[in-house]
Structure 1
Amino acid sequence: MNPIKSTLILLVCLITTNAFSQYTDVINSNRPGVSRSAFSVGTNVVQFEVGPYMIKEERIPATRYEVDGFGVDFSGRYGLLWEELELNIEGAFQSDTKTYNSSVIAEDKRANFKSLTVGAKYLVYDPYKKGEAKPNLYSWKANNRFKWRTLIPAVSVYAGANYDTENNPYTAPGIEGFSPKVMIATQHNFNGGFVFVMNFIKDRIGTDQSDFQYILTLTHSLSPKWVIFGETQGIQSDFYADNLFRFGGGYLWSKNFQLDTALTFNNKDTPSVLGINFGMSYRLDFHKDKEIDNGTSAKDEAGRRNNRSKKTTDVIEEYNRKHKRKDQNFN
């Protein structure tokens, strides 16, 4: 993301990119929140994002139950071959106790992957590819006024495959093995340190738990170190439907390390959801900018010197031949 966060810190910077490359000087994390930015981490960058969480659910109507437990969501990201391409693996593992509060109290201890997905994301459109407009050196107002170009988002597409184990307590009955997942991710970068990300997801396609999700995330950088965010996530399927809300923030510890936290909740009781998340992101940066051959390298300079020397020698030899002929004519 180019001004991708035009150096918009953390998530804003964590979701940044310059005008010609998706690689940024500071870590480009999808955290905080669960949405995916339209931009990759950059070529030859290995990045890990992990977030332990605590979860509590309670259902009152009909089947009465409570869920108490903890889990961890994680992802590994790698920029391969092109700046636009990113390979990733992501998922969430949860361990909890589900207590049924009916006439007979019963407990069900559960542990499994709620999700495990391998996929690839590719940036298909970058509105900042041609660079940002030059700043007006005489007008602060001109530099900070609304720019219509910010309404055009960066757009990426994602395709991946889920893997669900047999008898997984977190999926619908009969869901197992591999199933496709696709996503469109967009990203707007506005003046004032605001970044707006949208994800539209179709998950577990072709199964009895094929669901549609949308995620809308707005982040705002308070300083070069701190960012806050708000997020809403809608989930719709025959197995589960919900509207989740998240609020939190992140702190850029160093250019390669980020910390974050978030609170998740909903507004219903079928079931009610409350979650607290603490996350971190770390990258191993092996990125190298591609060298642009503009004829200024030492090798090129040596070649030019040899050419100049050869030209000078040729001129001298030609001069001597001419004067030798003249001397012979005089004799």
Structure 2
Amino acid sequence: MRRVLLLFLLFSYSFIVNAQYTEIINSKRPGFSESPYSIGTDVFQFETGLFYRSSNNKVQPATPNTIGGELFFRYGKFKEKLEFNAKIAYQRDEILNTPNPNFNISGISQLTIGAKYLIYEQKYTDKSKEVRSWKRKMAFDKKRLIPSVGAFVGVNTNFLGKDFKENELTLKGAVLLQNDFSNRLVLLTNLIADKILSDSNEYSYIATMTYALNYKWSYFIENQGVFEKGFTPKFHFGTGLAYLFSRNLQIDASVRTNFFEDYSYLYSSVGVAWRLDRHSDEIINKNSPRAQLSKKSNRKKKGNFFSRIFKKKKRRH
């Protein structure tokens, strides 16, 4: 019985020290890229927003105006490194029908169900304890060039509106990378393969640089490239702001465009992220730019830009 209890305690400890949970909401919004870190066990999170898109693409069939809403639901269970999620989008498109009048279609345009897992977490040297050399304390940690790595696997379901239905179920996979260059500056890189096993398979990348202005405000810049078979590649650039309203609520806004003459593109979005926190562990995983700044003002809260920047805190025995 003692051996069983000892094994259980060892297992529990190894499970806890890898915790991904943070005291501040860990939101994917307002950027399109995603961190390799999960939200933590027994956390229910809802990230929703309204978007407007205007485009004039002469190569592909044009949808001059699109308005819609999306919901990204996230749930942590079983392991701290594991997260289940689902994304649903509803939109109304204006379809160009020259020389006839334009017409509209509407319905559920996306319903993807998947899971994310943190494969590798990069550790950084704690230079706050370095007192012998100012140069060593201020030197850049080369480990920060090696990213933390996560993976996403999902299924694009066919439970869509009649105007958006696909012929079959398709798969989606992504490699998620995160470089913490400092306590304020983070780079997220996503390499994505979408609509796998179909004739319209799509490959893309997203690179997002995030920076925390202070404990409450943060902003990002983002570049996205989309490569579809038979179509000209698309490259979009975006920026936006996020405001931490409370430890469980974030408000955001963003805008995107392209810099090419062959077609025009404008995308804008506003949204909120809210979580129902049922997490019971007493551990916080990663400090963030907001957390670093809050320490200076003797605050106990810890957070980050989109709460994507985490740092482990050792548990007291």
Q: Aligned partners of 1:138, 1:85: CA distance in 2, in Å?
A: 40
**Which one has more relative contact order, counting CA pairs under 8 Å at least 6 apart?**
2
Q: Which amino acid aligns with 2:149?
A: V
Q: Which of 27, 30, 37 pairs up with 1:29?
A: 27
C-alpha contact 1:113 1:164 (8 A) present in aligned 2: no
Q: Which amino acid aligns with 1:76?
A: F
Q: Which of 35, 45, 48 pairs up with 2:46?
A: 48
Q: Aligned partners of 1:142, 1:131: CA distance in 2, in Å?
A: 11
Calculate the TM-score normalised by the size of structure 1: 0.74
- How far is the alpha carbon of 1:134 from its aligned partner? 5.1
Larger radius of gyration: 1
Kindly indicate whether residue 66 of structure 2 is the aligned counterpart of residue 72 of structure 1. no
TM-aligned CA distance change 1:139 to 1:222, over 3 Å: farther
TM-aligned CA distance change 1:64 to 1:82, over 3 Å: closer
CA deviation string 1:124-162 (max 9, x = no partner): 10112x884553246665434311111111101111100
Structure 1 residue aligned with 2:309: none
Q: Which amino acid aligns with 1:188?
A: N
TM-aligned CA distance change 1:23 to 1:215, over 3 Å: same
Could you list the runs of 5+ residues in structure 1 that have no partner in the other structure?
A: 1-17, 297-331
- State how many pairs are aligned: 270
Q: Which amino acid aligns with 2:102?
A: E
Q: Which amino acid aligns with 1:183?
A: A
TM-aligned CA distance change 1:66 to 1:123, over 3 Å: closer
Identity %: 31
Q: Which amino acid aligns with 1:251?
A: Y
Q: Aligned partners of 2:222, 2:162: CA distance in 1, in Å?
A: 28
CA deviation string 1:152-209 (max 9, x = no partner): 11101111100135785457xxx33311111110101112500100111111111121
Secondary structure (helix, strand or coil) at the match of 1:82 reads coil
Structure 1 residue aligned with 2:173: 182
Q: Which of 158, 163, 171 pairs up with 1:164?
A: 158
Q: Which of 123, 141, 149 pairs up with 1:147?
A: 141
Q: Aligned partners of 1:117, 1:257: CA distance in 2, in Å?
A: 24
Kindly indicate whether residue 264 of structure 2 is the aligned counterpart of residue 272 of structure 1. yes
- How far is the alpha carbon of 1:113 from its aligned partner? 3.0
- How far is the alpha carbon of 1:289 from its aligned partner? 1.0
Q: Which of 116, 132, 140 pairs up with 1:121?
A: 116
Q: Aligned partners of 2:195, 2:34: CA distance in 1, in Å?
A: 18
Secondary structure (helix, strand or coil) at the match of 2:79 reads coil
Q: Aligned partners of 1:141, 1:110: CA distance in 2, in Å?
A: 62
Structure 2 residue aligned with 1:83: 80
TM-aligned CA distance change 1:112 to 1:139, over 3 Å: farther
Q: Which of 93, 96, 99 pairs up with 2:96?
A: 99
Secondary structure (helix, strand or coil) at the match of 2:101 reads strand
Q: What's the Cα RMSD here?
A: 2.7
C-alpha contact 2:224 2:237 (8 A) present in aligned 1: yes
Q: Aligned partners of 1:153, 1:143: CA distance in 2, in Å?
A: 21
Secondary structure (helix, strand or coil) at the match of 1:143 reads helix
TM-aligned CA distance change 1:93 to 1:143, over 3 Å: farther
Structure 2 residue aligned with 1:254: 246
Could you list the runs of 5+ residues in structure 2 that have no partner in the other structure?
A: 1-15, 284-314
C-alpha contact 1:163 1:176 (8 A) present in aligned 2: no
CA deviation string 1:10-66 (max 9, x = no partner): xxxxxxxx974210110011112111101000111111101101111123x478855
Kindly indicate whether residue 218 of structure 2 is the aligned counterpart of residue 227 of structure 1. yes
